[in-house]
C-alpha cells in the first residue's frame, strides 16, 4: 500500500471495503460526490485518486493486491456515494487470505460482509461459482443496482377509499359530577 503526499497537504486514503467470491474480488471506495475519479486497475495493484467527501478534499491510494487480477476483464462503476470495482482474479484457485500483499492491517480497509461469501458457502449461492463475470457485472453495474434495470414501483391508484371505524372522531369524555 502506498499513500502519496503532496507539497502542501497530506493526501489521505479513502475508506475501502472489500469482499470476494469464487474468481472475483469486490472493492468499494467509499467517497461521496467524487466527480472525476481516476482508477487504474493493474495486474498487481489498484490505484485510486479523487476529490470528494464532506470536506471535498483529495484522496489517493495504491493497493498492492495479494495476487494478480485480469485487468482487461475487471471494471469500475462510479456512483454518487462510492466507486465500485469488480476485479476478476487471474487464478480461480483458493480464496485470498487478505486483499493486500502486505501482511498488516490498514485503518482505511474493512471487510464488506454484505457481499462476502466464504469458500464453503459458494455452493449454496444458487448459480454460485458457475455465475459468469458478465452476469455479476450486469447486477453490480446495472442501472440503479440490483437486477440491472429500473425496479417496478407499486401503484396505489387502484385502492378504494373505504370508510373505516378508525376514521370516526373521538367521543368526548364523560364527567363524573
Domain assignment of residue 61, given as a range: 1-96
- What torsion do the CA atoms of 28, 33, 37, 43 make, to the nearest 10 degrees? 0
**Is 132 inside any structural domain?**
no
CATH number of the domain bearing residue 83: 2.60.40.790
Q: Average pLDDT in the 128-132 region?
A: 50
Q: Helix, strand or coil for residue 167?
A: helix
Model confidence at 63: pLDDT above 80: yes
**Is 13 inside any structural domain?**
yes
**Is 75 inside any structural domain?**
yes
**Is 141 inside any structural domain?**
no
**Is 19 inside any structural domain?**
yes
What does the mean pLDDT of the chain come to? 79
| CA neighbours closer than 13 Å in the CB half-sphere of residue 173 | 3
- Pairing mode, if any, of strands 83-89 and 69-78? antiparallel
**Is 120 inside any structural domain?**
no
Among the residue ranges 32-36, 63-67, 119-123, 155-159, the one predicted with the least confidence is 155-159
Number of domains in the chain: 1
Q: Helix, strand or coil for residue 75?
A: strand
Which position has the grid cell 363524573? Answer: 176
Phi, psi of 128 (to 5 degrees): 45, -125
**Is 114 inside any structural domain?**
no
Model confidence at 7: pLDDT above 80: no
Q: Which residue, 42, 168, 46, is CA-closest to 14?
A: 46
Are 34 and 78 in contact by the 8 Å Cβ rule? The answer is yes
Model confidence at 134: pLDDT above 90: no
**Is 69 inside any structural domain?**
yes
In sequence order, what DSSP letters do the residues of 81-139 get, joined into one string? S-EEEEEEES--SSPPS-SBSS-S--TTEEE-TTT---TTTGGGGTTGGGS-HHHHHHH
The pTM for the full model equals 0.65
Amino acid at each position: 500500500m502506498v499513500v502519496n503526499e503532496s507539497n502542501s497537504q497530506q493526501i489521505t486514503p479513502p475508506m475501502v471495503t472489500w469482499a470476494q467470491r469464487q474468481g472475483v474480488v469486490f472493492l468499494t471506495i467509499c467517497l461521496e460526490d467524487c466527480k472525476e475519479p481516476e482508477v487504474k486497475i493493474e495486474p498487481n495493484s489498484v490505484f485510486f485518486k479523487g476529490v470528494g467527501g464532506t470536506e471535498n478534499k483529495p484522496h489517493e491510494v495504491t493497493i498492492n493486491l495479494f495476487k494478480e487480477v485480469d485487468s482487461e476483464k475487471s471494471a469500475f462503476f462510479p456512483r454518487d456515494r462510492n466507486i465500485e470495482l469488480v476485479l476478476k482474479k487471474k487464478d480461480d484457485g483458493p480464496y485470498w487470505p487478505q486483499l493486500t500483499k502486505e501482511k498488516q492491517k490498514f485503518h482505511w480497509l474493512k471487510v464488506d460482509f454484505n457481499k462476502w461469501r466464504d469458500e464453503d458457502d459458494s455452493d449454496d449461492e444458487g448459480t454460485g461459482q458457475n455465475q459468469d463475470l458478465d452476469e455479476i457485472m450486469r447486477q453490480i453495474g446495472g442501472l440503479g443496482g440490483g437486477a440491472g434495470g429500473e425496479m417496478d414501483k407499486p401503484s396505489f391508484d387502484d385502492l378504494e377509499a373505504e370508510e373505516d371505524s378508525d376514521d370516526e372522531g373521538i367521543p368526548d369524555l364523560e364527567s363524573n359530577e
